[in-house]
């Protein structure tokens, strides 16, 4: 579920980044487009539409002035005095507009400076308009005065005034004849400039369009497409995670189904045989058989729980391997002995071929290696109805490493080719149905495969349907260092068999059944056993015993208890100066639990269910080590 949430968050973050990058890119494109449009519009506006229009208007106004001057001359000559007022007003208005247009175009600047980058010839063309304009403006103003004088003196206009009107009209005509072509030249210059600026703007616009196209291409290549690919990949990962989740749910259901069956079978035997033991009519041999059956079922249940815990440790990455030096023959011996019992019970023949190379020591973890071999043997026995089981083992020595090879061959049902890739999956069997012929949890081969890989090895399988299968375990181990000389045991050292006799021990456990069980385990050793129900009471008992000068020599400490647990109780005892051995006895059996107990101050660790012989052996070892340590300290004081 957490993986699904993480995948969903990654997808959302990718989409958010994609949106932000897209918005930024779109904003950049909009800014560039706005700049380009504004630039082209400014060029078109500044470049000349207004100036060409104003120049054309000046040409038109100059022509109107010439026409009005001629009409005034005709009116004075023909005596049409009533028309002079209107013609005078038109002339004033037209000349005023001409002056305004000229000021709008040139203003206070010299005409030659109107185009800053103009050539000398272009400057001369612009400057040539000044003289005819001034002549036209001055002559127009003189015509205004003459027409106004004619209006005032009409109808008695003298010949001198008429001749001056005629001369002024001709001056306007001559000025206008010079003004028009030069104005046409300037308009042409404006048009050329406009075309040049428009051409430059178009070129810049093309460059801008190319940049936009490049930006869009970059967006597609480096933003949109990668983002789409990322989203697609994460969607695929999300889909894969969902499929894994569905598979996990399916596996969980199969776990509950299979393990429920596997747990109920030995539990049924334990409860049923325990109930039969209450029958007073049973003979002693029958009671022994029932007791052995209960013990065997409990061991099977313990083994099943241990497998599940190890599988959990493997899946969580917490399985720890502690290599040590051991002989392959010694590791295989109990496995072969157990296999002989199983094959005899199943009517099979067991064949073994243990090479002499197995007598040499290798670096591995004996417990895990034995577990793998036992799982492979169990699998071979389960699926073999008749015939034999063969165990071949050898150790190959190479320059930089050793390789342990163990092959287990059976004459059973074999494996179909399409089933080979599934046989190492958890809860899978060749006949994976609720009514399958063969029992089992389906964890054996999967567990063996995981353990083999944890030991730097692997399992290979070759099989022929209805003929049998061969599972080959290959474990690569580091080279064995040369053995060091082991110290010889002291001939005067006493046997530890009676080390517990008269030893004062404290059993700390909140469960009554566990206290009763440990009491029976220790009864025959002659030890003096006291009990405490929690860690706080254990500290009180230890303090009281020390005050009585009869301290406890060994403590069996349960680690999970009410009031005060075993971890804190052990730490407080060590802080108070208690030096005697403390053995942790707990149901916590995962890798790392032993280290936690040792770190709390315990000397050793046993996981429940506790084996009687292992418990007594460990207690004897702890007391013997404590006695040796005390003797060493005594010798050291004497020498000092």
Fold designation for 496-639: Rossmann fold (3.40.50)
Q: Ranked by mean pLDDT, which of 25-29, 100-104, 504-508 comes out on top?
A: 504-508
pTM of the full structure? 0.48
Question: What is the pLDDT of the chain when averaged over all its residues?
Answer: 79
Q: What is the rounded CA–CA span in Å between residue 598 and residue 584?
A: 8
Q: Look-up: residue for tokens 């073994």?
A: 352
pLDDT computed for residue 523 by the predictor: 83
**Element of type H or E holding 473:** strand 468-478
Q: Which residues are within 8 A (CB) of 27 and not within 5 positions of it... i.e. 6 or more apart?
A: none
Q: What is the rounded CA–CA span in Å between residue 142 and residue 176?
A: 15
What count of other Cβ atoms lies within 10 Å of the Cβ of residue 459? 23
pLDDT computed for residue 298 by the predictor: 81
Q: Crossing angle of helices 512-523/612-639, nearest 10°?
A: 70
> Which residues are 471's β-sheet partners?
408, 461
Q: Look-up: residue for tokens 């099943």?
A: 304
Q: pLDDT tens-digit profile of 442-498? A: 567 877 888 888 888 899 999 888 889 999 999 988 876 554 444 444 444 444 445
CA nearest 369: which of 360, 380, 377, 359?
Answer: 377
Q: Look-up: residue for tokens 């497998």?
A: 307
Q: Ranked by mean pLDDT, which of 3-17, 181-195, 510-524 comes out on top?
A: 510-524
CA nearest 566: which of 537, 523, 527, 525?
Answer: 537
Q: Look-up: residue for tokens 């399988």?
A: 461
What does the block give as tokens for 194?
């406009």
> Which residues are 584's β-sheet partners?
557, 605
Whether residue 360 contacts residue 327, with contact meaning beta carbons closer than 8 Å, is answered with yes
Q: pLDDT tens-digit profile of 476-492? A: 888 765 544 444 444 44
Average pLDDT, integer, range 308-336:
77
Q: What is the rounded CA–CA span in Å between residue 119 and residue 54?
A: 23
The domain locations on the chain are 2-236, 321-478, 496-639
Q: Does residue 179 surpass a pLDDT of 80?
A: yes
CA 431 to chain centre: 38
Q: What band does 558 get if pLDDT is binned at 50, 70 and 90?
A: very high
CA 82 to chain centre: 101
What does the block give as tokens for 336?
């072969």
Whether residue 201 contacts residue 195, with contact meaning beta carbons closer than 8 Å, is answered with no
Q: Is 481 exposed, middle or buried (0-12, 13-18, 19+ CB in 10 A)?
A: exposed
Asked if the domains at 321-478 and 496-639 fall in one CATH topology, the answer is no
CATH number of 321-478, picked from 3.40.250.10, 1.10.20.10, 3.30.565.10, 3.30.365.10: 3.30.565.10
């Amino acid at each position: 579920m957490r993986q699904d949430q993480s995948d969903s968050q990654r997808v959302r973050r990718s989409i958010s980044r994609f949106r932000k990058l897209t918005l930024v890119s779109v904003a950049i494109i909009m800014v560039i487009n706005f700049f380009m449009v504004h630039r082209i519009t400014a060029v078109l506006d500044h470049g000349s539409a207004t100036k060409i229009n104003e120049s054309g208007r000046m040409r038109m106004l100059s022509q109107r002035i010439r026409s009005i001057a001629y009409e005034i001359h005709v009116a004075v000559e023909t005596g049409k005095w009533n028309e002079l007022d209107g013609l005078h007003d038109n002339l004033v208005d037209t000349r005023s507009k001409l002056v305004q247009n000229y000021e709008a175009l040139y203003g206070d600047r010299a005409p030659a400076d109107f185009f800053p980058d103009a050539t000398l010839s272009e400057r001369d063309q612009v400057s040539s308009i000044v003289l005819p304009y001034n002549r036209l403006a001055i002559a127009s103003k003189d015509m205004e005065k003459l027409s106004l004088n004619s209006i005032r003196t009409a109808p008695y206009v003298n010949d001198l005034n008429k001749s001056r009107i005629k001369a002024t009209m001709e001056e306007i005509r001559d000025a206008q004849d010079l003004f028009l072509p030069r104005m046409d030249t300037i308009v042409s210059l404006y048009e050329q400039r406009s075309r040049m600026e428009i051409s430059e703007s178009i070129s810049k616009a093309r460059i801008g369009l190319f940049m936009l196209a490049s930006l869009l291409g970059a967006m597609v290549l480096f933003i949109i497409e990668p983002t789409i690919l990322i989203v697609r990949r994460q969607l695929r990962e999300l889909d894969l995670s969902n499929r894994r989740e569905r598979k996990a749910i399916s596996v969980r259901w199969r776990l509950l189904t299979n393990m429920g069956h596997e747990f109920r079978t030995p539990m049924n035997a334990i409860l049923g045989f325990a109930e039969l033991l209450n029958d007073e009519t049973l003979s002693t041999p029958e009671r022994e058989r029932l007791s052995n059956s209960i013990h065997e079922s409990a061991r099977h249940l313990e083994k099943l729980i241990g497998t599940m815990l190890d599988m959990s440790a493997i899946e969580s990455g917490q399985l720890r391997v502690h290599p040590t030096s051991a002989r392959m023959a010694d590791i295989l011996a109990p496995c072969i002995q157990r296999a002989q019992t199983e094959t005899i019970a199943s009517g099979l023949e067991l064949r073994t071929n243990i090479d002499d190379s197995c007598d040499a020591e290798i670096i591995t973890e004996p417990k895990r290696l034995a577990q793998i071999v036992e799982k492979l043997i169990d699998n071979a026995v389960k699926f073999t109805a008749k015939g034999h089981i063969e165990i071949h083992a050898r150790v190959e020595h190479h320059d930089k490493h050793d390789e342990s090879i163990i092959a287990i061959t059976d004459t059973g049902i074999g494996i179909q080719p399409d089933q080979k890739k599934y046989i190492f999956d958890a809860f899978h069997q060749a006949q994976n149905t609720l009514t399958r012929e063969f029992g089992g949890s389906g964890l054996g081969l999967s567990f063996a495969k995981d353990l083999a890989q944890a030991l730097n090895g692997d399992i290979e399988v070759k099989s022929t349907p209805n003929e049998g299968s061969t599972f080959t375990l290959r474990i690569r181990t580091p080279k064995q260092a040369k053995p060091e000389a082991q110290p010889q045991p002291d001939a005067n050292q006493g046997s530890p068999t009676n080390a517990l006799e008269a030893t004062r021990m404290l059993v700390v456990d909140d469960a009554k059944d566990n206290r009763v069980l440990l009491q029976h385990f220790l009864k025959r050793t002659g030890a003096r056993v006291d009990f405490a129900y929690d860690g706080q009471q254990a500290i009180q008992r230890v303090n009281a015993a020390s005050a009585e000068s009869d301290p406890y020599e060994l403590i069996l400490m349960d680690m999970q208890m009410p009031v005060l647990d075993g971890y804190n109780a052990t730490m407080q005892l060590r802080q108070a100066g208690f030096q005697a051995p403390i053995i942790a006895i707990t149901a916590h059996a995962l890798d790392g639990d032993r280290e936690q107990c040792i770190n709390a101050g315990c000397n050793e660790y046993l996981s429940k269910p506790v084996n009687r012989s292992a418990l007594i052996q460990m207690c004897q070892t702890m007391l013997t080590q404590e006695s040796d340590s005390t003797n060493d300290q005594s010798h050291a004081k004497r020498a000092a």
